[in-house]
Amino acid sequence: MDATTAKLASLRLAPVQAASWGHPETSGLPTIDFYLSAQALEPADAQANYTEKLVALPNLGCWLVPTKEESGKPPALDLAADELVLLCPGNAFKYAPQHDRLLAAIAQRVPRSRLVFFRSRPEPLAEKLRARLAESFRRAGADFERQVTFLPWQSRASFRALLKRADLYLDTVGFSGFNTAVQALECGLPIVAREGRFLRGRLGSGVLRHLGLDELVAPSDEAYVELAATLATDRERRQELRRRIEPARQRLYRDAAPIEALQHFIETAVR
């Protein structure tokens, strides 16, 4: 996504060149030989999505450590006592217009919900998202002004406090989040994910499946709306999920298998 990086990647600077999934899709460049991804994040036919030779490292493909606890207060939301917080934490560019209707449908199904978004940079893109959502909510018969809040970008401590306060996390459809999903699970927050066709749409669902939380992964747009609405209105089930997340999230951390596989790949590729 950075112009300088793209220029460098277009050059043959070394006998073996590889990319990984900071930007979760193929480079499309003949100068990049390998793409390092993860078994838990890719579909069975994933090689067809890459011009590079795909190397799927075990599990989540990376070494994670628990996030350092930071104390903070969640931002004020002026909620009624019975309002539910459905957190929508993706950057504005991750919300494609064709998926606006899903969020509006969830709001229409759960009228006592508050969908919380963030005014990420660039600001004009966040404003476009807000305008699109307002129209989608109007068509769905949902109350946009009462049910949607756009917050300023938060500090890490404040965002973590909001993750702990929220009732449900709605993963972005089509362009999922990975680090944010991991942070949410660290705070015990249940996630609803829509599993996509490509790596970029499978980050959240891959993490959930890795932890044995497959029931939080929706296979279709309709199932995504149904799952979100059902969980939002079932407090006991959300509490049960929080109890399951606490021991399961230990599987996220200090996984040596991807490191060993990466070492093997480098040694083999160099030879």
> What is the pLDDT, as a whole number, of residue 22?
82
Q: What sign results for the dihedral spanned by CA atoms 206, 208, 213, 216? A: negative
Q: Is the dihedral of CA 153, 158, 163, 166 positive or negative?
A: negative
Instruction: Count Cα neighbours of 7 within 13 Å in the Cβ-side half-sphere.
Output: 3
- Size of the chain, expressed as the number of residues it contains: 271
pLDDT of residue 200: 97
Q: Give the C-alpha separation, 179 to 172, whole Å.
A: 13
Task: Report pLDDT for 123.
Answer: 85
Q: Judge residue 134's burial from the number of C-beta atoms within 10 Å of its C-beta, 0-12 exposed, 13-18 middle, 19 or more buried.
A: middle
Q: Return d(Cα 102, Cα 137) in angstroms, integer.
A: 10
Query: Which amino acid type is present at position 167?
Result: D
The predicted model scores a pTM of 0.94
**In the chain, what are the domains?**
3-63+255-270 (3.40.50.11380), 84-251 (3.40.50.2000)
Q: Which phi and psi angles does 229 have, rounded to 5°?
A: -65, -40
pLDDT of residue 27: 94
Q: Which residues of the chain have pLDDT under 50?
A: none
Q: Burial letters for 74-98: b for 16+ Cβ neighbours within 10 Å, e otherwise?
A: bbeeeeeeebbbbbbbbbbebbeee
Predicted local confidence at residue 70, as pLDDT: 76
Residue 33: its pLDDT value, please?
98
Looking at residue 120, what is its pLDDT? 81
3-state helix, strand, coil split of the chain in percent (to 5) is 50, 15, 40
Question: Structure tokens of 141?
Answer: 């018969």
Give the per-residue pLDDT at 189: 98
pLDDT at 69: 79
Residue 41 is predicted with a pLDDT of 98
pLDDT for residue 122: 81
